[in-house]
Amino acid sequence: MTGRQEEHNQGNSHSMQLKLMNTSLYISISNTELVSWKKHITSWFQYIEKAFSRFLTHNELWLFNQAPVNELIQISPVFYDILQKAEEYRKKTEGRFSPFLLNELEAHGYNQSFPFKEATTNNAKIESHFDSKPLEFHEGFQIIKRTDQKIDLGGIAKGYAVEAAAKWLRTNAKSRYGIVDGGGDMTVWSNGEKTWDIGIMNPYHEDQRIGSFQIQNGGVATSNTIYRSWLQGGTKKHHLLDGRTGNPVKTSIIQATVVMNHCLDAEIGAKVCFMNDGKPIKSILNKLEEKNNFLIVNSDENIEMG
């Protein structure tokens, strides 16, 4: 878990909280002359949830997943941008991260929104296949699918939304400093007058702080194998799937927090920490961005920082 230095201030006219995208969102800015900023930010996150939640039907993600292979598909500029970034991350991480895991998530029992403790389906045989060039990007926000693998945007859509909201507030609201926190995946910024103290909480004891990062500008993200986990036929499963196998990762790492210049990079980085294959964590993260810091919690509660 990730925490902020200050408590939520309900009396602060420049802060707000939302419950969307199956998480708690907290946004706070130093100043603005835009009286409508909260309405704009709320509408943005509502749009992302409605358009790209895999638990809804007949939204843009669902329609794309139902569309036939090898045909040109017209999509929105936002969806096009997210898919381009997702494909770039898939290549940078050598397939560790992949958006093409909806079939596998559902086969492992993650076919309902949290919270739940036990899958409603039995273990299913995973017959994953992964295409080297699953999408072709064309001008005019058009795509040709070259795969029948279905897409789950999951954390990348949330990280994208957080980063875009922070950019809008910094540019249009002209706030000197601020934070957009999407349930631990966050972007902070400052003109230099504020340094953010981002606390890292113990995954086993949520009220116990085990480390912190002090940053003025950047993105922070945390992933762990505890909070989104469940039982399927007596087998413990979790939501962090290895994009190369389609199965939950097997690792001694329980929680990973990553700090990078951008929230989206940190979000992907936190996930691929669990798939380091015995390599130094730093070498995996450097493929995303050379400027990075991390805090890893292992199953024996030992902590590794870098």
- For 34-50, the pLDDT digits (tens) are 999 999 999 999 999 99
Cβ 288 vs Cβ 265: under 8 Å: yes
Q: What pLDDT, on a 0 to 100 scale, did the predictor assign at position 9?
A: 43
CA distances from 228 to 15, 81, 187, 224 (A): 28, 27, 22, 8
Distance from C-alpha of 114 to C-alpha of 22, rounded to nearest angstrom: 8
Q: What pLDDT, on a 0 to 100 scale, did the predictor assign at position 154?
A: 85
- What pLDDT band is residue 5 in, cutting at 50, 70 and 90? very low
Q: What pLDDT, on a 0 to 100 scale, did the predictor assign at position 11?
A: 45
Q: What pLDDT, on a 0 to 100 scale, did the predictor assign at position 156?
A: 96
- What pLDDT band is residue 12 in, cutting at 50, 70 and 90? low
pLDDT mean over 254-267 = 97
pLDDT reading at 3 higher than 70: no
Q: Percent of the chain beyond pLDDT 90?
A: 83
Sequence-ordered list of residues with C-beta below 8 angstroms from that of 13, at least 6 positions apart, any chain: none
Distance from C-alpha of 179 to C-alpha of 194, rounded to nearest angstrom: 11
Q: What pLDDT, on a 0 to 100 scale, did the predictor assign at position 127?
A: 67
**What digits encode the pLDDT tens for the residues 96-122?**
999 999 999 999 999 999 889 999 988
pLDDT mean over 59-76 = 97
**What digits encode the pLDDT tens for the residues 74-95?**
999 999 999 999 999 999 999 9
- How many CB atoms within 10 Å of residue 14? 16
Distance from C-alpha of 86 to C-alpha of 92, rounded to nearest angstrom: 10
